Amino acid sequence: MKRSWIQKSFVCMMVCMMAMSMVQKPANAQGDLDVNAKAAILVEASTGKILYEKNSDTAQGIASMTKMMTEYVLLEAVKEGKVKWDQTYTVPTKISNMSHNDNLSNVPLREEGTYKLKDLYEAMAIESANAAAMAIAETVAGSQEKFVKMMNDKAKELGLENYKFVNVTGLNNKDLAPYVDQVVGGADEENVMSAKDTATLAYRLMKDFPEILDTSSIAKKTFAEGTEDAFPMKNWNWMLPGLIREYEGMDGLKTGTTDFAGGCFTGTAERDGMRYITVVMNVDISSGENSYDARFNETRKMLDYAFANFTMEEVLPADYKVKGHKTLPVQKGKEKEVQIKTDSPLSMVVKNGEEDQYKPKFVLDKKKLNDGELTAPVKEGEKVGYVMLEAKGEKDLGYLTDKGTNASKASVVTVDGVEKANWFVLSMRAVGGFFGDIWDSITSTVKGWF
């Protein structure tokens, strides 16, 4: 019995579909992970290498993740000696009233009570105390308005791109208004940053002030212990060891929740020498989860993915000589060229099984060159550029810092020094070059006759 053309077409279509399903798609970090949030980012913490991102350049509400910037400005002021941990702050009426608002994260502060700056810092970092953040701002800058300007100035200095700070706490201005003389910005405004900027702030905070983790990792502590103001604090980061969503290696950094921002969380965890930074913003709670659980579940998802799939690998050894760039020409030197090499190994976080997906690229320091040559004298070990890694296949997600270049790179230096040649050698070279040019001109002319 002959098959009809319909049967033949159906069989052909099925065969094609089966063949297509057997084709293995190339590995794609973006495709391997789906985070249920308006914006998210996953970063390797030592280099700032981005491993996953979702809508990461769009400014979103950050709520109390704001306090990471408040912490940065405070820690810098302490480092520079502008304020001291043991200096005290006397609480005015409005800030005392704020501290007793049970609808907001707070540690109670007595009116006209005095508190050490270090205690206020811990209240802000652990309990996310809003009144404590306001007190810190007034201690450092003299007023909250001046501190907000410092926050925006610092954001610009750190290279953030999509941000706006209107207060030191992360609250909506309408919630803050009863406790300040005048809000900065509109009555309903709230602080915003992109996920990438939030991760960059966390990255810089840990790089510049690694002691931040000593405080952000505290799960429980008593505020002003041993005094009449003693108050039990519990960290809102429920993924810390000992708390209800504990995650191995978790030690920071900051949660945030408002109606505008939704559930947010900037987390960091370290295992076996590998540390990652995660940011989730305005998590999706359509499944019925509350925003507290959802932000931690999405963070866990990203960290599990990172620890299971990425490692730090030495991609190039020390003393590596880039193919096609093993030497550089030197003018006015005793030698006419000098060998160059990397001065240290080049390591990079790579996805397991994709170690060969990167190739080295040599980038010269153009300021060191004159018409493509170094000029003698040249010192031994003089830096002349660097080697970076480029992805061979799919688009690389890049780094938080060094935009347009690459944060994983090794300096390229000269192997030996080259002394400047004396006047006689330089003169002979010039004469030789002169006659060489004449000879080249003659031979070219003669060749033209035939």
Name the active-site residue from 54, 67, 196, 254.
67
Our answer to whether residue 64 is catalytic in this structure is yes
At 254, the amino acid letter reads K
Cβ neighbours of residue 310 under 8 Å, at least 6 residues apart? 44, 51, 274, 349, 350, 351, 352
The β-bridge relationship of strands 327-331 and 374-375 is parallel
Is 347 labeled as catalytic in the residue annotation? Answer: no
Q: Is 56 a catalytic residue?
A: no
Annotated catalytic residue: which of 64, 105, 194, 291?
Answer: 64
Identified catalytic residue from 128, 194, 216, 217:
128
Residue positions annotated with a catalytic role: 64, 67, 128
